[in-house]
Structure 1
Amino acid sequence: MEALAVRLSGLDPYVEGALRVVAFYDTLMRRRVDLPALARASAGLAECVAGVRLHGTGRTIRVAPDGAEASARPVPASASVPITLDGEEIGVVWLERPGPPGPLDAVLLDRLALAAAAVVERYGPATTTMADPALVELVVSSDTDEAARARALRLLGFAADQPVRVAAVRSRLPLDRIGSLVCPARLVKAAPLADVGVVLATTVDPERFPEGVRAGIGGAGSPARSWREARTALRFTTAREPVVHHDDLGALALLAEVPEDASRGNADVAAMARITGNADDVETLEAYLATGSLRQVADLLHLHHSSVARRIEQIGRTLGIDLTTASGRTRAGIALVARRLLDDGRAAEEATRSPVSRSRARPSGSA
């Protein structure tokens, strides 16, 4: 490399400098340096503050040109490059150079980002969110023996005595982004399984799921049980309630155990199919069942209360249920949930059987 740089220097001084930067980082990698050493070497080479930050752990390293920790307040980066590992952005490297970037800053940062990714991969556990689906399936499957489950958890980076909570997710957003949002400060792993995205984490904050995501959250403890609970909770999600915690379902979770044939044969559930194709009717009924007040529904839907009254009356006639009584509202609520569970089960079965769905399985899960 040095000989090549010398030979090319007469043709293009920039090429000589770029090759020397490449050789510099090749030497660092052969010495198997860690992230602080990489940052120190980069700051010395660039003659300005250099920084490295990992998104998963929040770890930030800022080093001055003299090799000491940068004590001055951070200034806007003059140039930055993302650190990527297995196609996922796991961090960023940057330079804090007063004035415009130097002519070789882009080359320096590219090599620094590559070197940082190699260090993270070598000295793990891997800090990427996306995981091998086979390992995740071993963790959540009820057929996995405990020894194999413990080994899979260990390979994913979870401690043996660490409780793991599972979330089942449907979204068009990338799973790694969702995982990083709902568990920003701790280890989180994700993978697509059939038509559902799986998120494994020690804690899951339901308030941090972004808009457009449907998610069911299982309880802490056994990953296999948490996965079953998460899938059940996912079936209860709606546009009004897109994130459901299994612990909050209580006795409603029993509806998921009712055989499909029994649900289909129920008159109230069959009648509910007459309105579930009409989004306005469903929204009105859900709001009325939640509040029990025509005026509150009118406020929620920005309608006149007389219009809501007529709509509720028409829905009641369609269902054959008196919605003005407590027992009628209970019947309608149960029938609406049971109908939704039937529709969700059928959609999930079709998605799982579809070869197109399987070929499109991506880290983003399935919509």
Structure 2
Amino acid sequence: MEALAARLSHLDPDVEGAIRVVMFYDTLMRRRVDLPALARASAGLAECVTGIRLHSTGRTLRMAPDGREAAPAALPASTTVAVTLDDEEIGTVWLEREGEPGALDDAVLDRLAIAVATVVERYGPARTTMADPALVELVISADGDDAARNRALRLLGFPVDAPIRVAAVRSGVPLEKVGSLICHGRPVKAASLGDVGIILATSVDPVRFPEGVRAGIGAAGCPRRSWQEARTALRFTTARQPVIRYDELGALALLARIPEEDTRANADVLAITSLAADPEDLRTLDAYCATGSVRQAADSLHLHHSSVARRLTQIGKSLGVEVTEPAGLTRARLALALWRLLGE
């Protein structure tokens, strides 16, 4: 390798430097160094502050060329490279150099990113969000015993004594992206089970779910029970309310226990099924049930309130109830919720 670098240096002075960078990191990997040692060695090689950050833990390392932890950032990152593992971005590495980037900065960061991914994969649970579906299923299974569930949690990187919150997700957005958004800087794992995505996390921020995602969130605690709650909450989600926490449902959660055949046979639910043939009528009823106000429903639909009032009169005749009266509104809300639970 040394002889090759010397020969190539006659053709391109930067080639020898790039090869020496590769050799430098190969040596570090043979020595099985950890992340602080990688950051420290890289800072010495680049002769500037070098940083490493892992998304899943929020951990950040910044080392100065003298081998000590760097002082609070005074310079922005001059060059940044993503760290990927199993095609997922798990972190970033960067250099904080004053002035223009050095000729070999890209080579240094490319090799550093590879080295960081190798270290993360080698030590402890992999810090990728996507997990082995078999392990995730074992955690949420109603049949598994506590010992097996605890082993699965340890393999997934969760403290056994930490409460686990489960989210059931239907999304066109990749699960790993959803997981990193809703539980930034804390342990989070995801897997697909049939047509539903499962996210396990120590905490979930409902407002951070991206657009286009529907999610039900179980209460923290036992993963098995939290998964059941999350699936129930997911069934209640709508385009208007795409993310629902189970504990927000209250008594409405009891509707999910009604046998499907009884729900389908209910006269109010049958009337909603017929009404759903006209999307405009369904949107109008949905807006009114959500607000309980003709004017607020009109505002959300961008219509005049008199137009909405006329529609509601016709809808009431179709349903056989006066939806603008308290009792009729209650029946319409319950019928609409039950119709959605059927997945129609």
- Asked if Structure 1 and Structure 2 have the same fold, meaning a TM-score greater than 0.5 normalized by the shorter chain, the answer is yes
Alpha-carbon deviation of 1:235?
A: 0.3
**Correspondence for 1:177:** 177
Alpha-carbon deviation of 1:78?
A: 2.2
Amino acid at match of 1:181: L
Alpha-carbon deviation of 1:233?
A: 0.4
Determine helix, strand or coil for the equivalent of 2:275: coil
Aligned pairs (5 A) from 1:123-134: 123-134=123-134
Give the conservation status (yes or no) of the 8 Å contact 2:49–2:65. yes
Amino acid at match of 1:249: L
Alpha-carbon deviation of 1:228?
A: 0.8
Amino acid at match of 2:154: R
- CA-to-aligned-CA distance 1:190-241 (integer Å, 9 cap, x gap): 1111101101011112122122211101112221111111001000001111
Determine helix, strand or coil for the equivalent of 2:342: helix
Structure 2 residue 291 is the aligned partner of structure 1 residue 295 = no
Aligned counterparts of 1:339 and 1:72: Cα–Cα separation in 2: 56
Structure 2 residue 3 is the aligned partner of structure 1 residue 3 = yes
**Correspondence for 2:245:** 245
Alpha-carbon deviation of 1:158?
A: 1.3
Aligned pairs (5 A) from 1:206-285: 206-285=206-285
**Correspondence for 1:31:** 31
Aligned counterparts of 2:74 and 2:118: Cα–Cα separation in 1: 26
Change (3 A) 1:190 1:6: same
**Correspondence for 1:363:** none
Change (3 A) 1:121 1:337: same
Give the conservation status (yes or no) of the 8 Å contact 2:55–2:185. no
Aligned counterparts of 1:48 and 1:195: Cα–Cα separation in 2: 48
**Correspondence for 1:135:** 135
Give the conservation status (yes or no) of the 8 Å contact 2:255–2:338. yes
Change (3 A) 1:82 1:291: closer
Alpha-carbon deviation of 1:69?
A: 2.1
Q: Which moved more, 1:145-154 or 1:5-14?
A: 5-14
Determine helix, strand or coil for the equivalent of 2:100: coil
**Correspondence for 2:286:** 286
Q: Which moved more, 1:28-37 or 1:281-290?
A: 281-290
Give the conservation status (yes or no) of the 8 Å contact 2:166–2:217. yes
- CA-to-aligned-CA distance 1:304-344 (integer Å, 9 cap, x gap): 22111100011111222221322222221111111111125
Aligned counterparts of 2:109 and 2:83: Cα–Cα separation in 1: 10
Amino acid at match of 1:299: D
Amino acid at match of 1:337: A
Structure 2: stretches of 5+ with no match in the other structure: none
Give the conservation status (yes or no) of the 8 Å contact 2:166–2:199. yes
**Correspondence for 1:12:** 12
Alpha-carbon deviation of 1:77?
A: 2.2
Structure 2 residue 318 is the aligned partner of structure 1 residue 321 = no
Aligned counterparts of 2:310 and 2:100: Cα–Cα separation in 1: 67
**Correspondence for 2:96:** 96
Determine helix, strand or coil for the equivalent of 2:231: helix
Determine helix, strand or coil for the equivalent of 1:80: strand
Aligned pairs (5 A) from 1:137-216: 137-216=137-216
Amino acid at match of 1:95: L
Structure 2 residue 123 is the aligned partner of structure 1 residue 119 = no
Aligned counterparts of 1:13 and 1:301: Cα–Cα separation in 2: 66
Amino acid at match of 1:85: L
Aligned counterparts of 2:181 and 2:331: Cα–Cα separation in 1: 38
Q: Note the aligned Cα RMSD (angstroms).
A: 1.6
Aligned pairs (5 A) from 1:44-55: 44-55=44-55
**Correspondence for 1:348:** none
Aligned counterparts of 1:242 and 1:217: Cα–Cα separation in 2: 11
Alpha-carbon deviation of 1:67?
A: 1.8
Aligned counterparts of 2:271 and 2:25: Cα–Cα separation in 1: 70
**Correspondence for 1:357:** none
Alpha-carbon deviation of 1:72?
A: 5.6
Alpha-carbon deviation of 1:169?
A: 0.7
Amino acid at match of 1:153: L
Aligned residues: 344
Determine helix, strand or coil for the equivalent of 2:94: strand
TM-score, length-normalised on structure 2?
A: 0.95
Alpha-carbon deviation of 1:70?
A: 2.1
Amino acid at match of 2:324: T
- CA-to-aligned-CA distance 1:108-141 (integer Å, 9 cap, x gap): 1111101111111122332221111111111111
Amino acid at match of 1:167: A
Amino acid at match of 1:334: L
Q: Which moved more, 1:219-228 or 1:21-30?
A: 219-228
Aligned counterparts of 2:174 and 2:293: Cα–Cα separation in 1: 39
Give the conservation status (yes or no) of the 8 Å contact 2:235–2:343. no
TM-score, length-normalised on structure 1?
A: 0.89
Aligned counterparts of 2:233 and 2:55: Cα–Cα separation in 1: 29
Amino acid at match of 1:332: A
Misfit runs of 4+, over 4 Å: none
Identity score, percent: 69
Q: Which moved more, 1:322-331 or 1:21-30?
A: 322-331
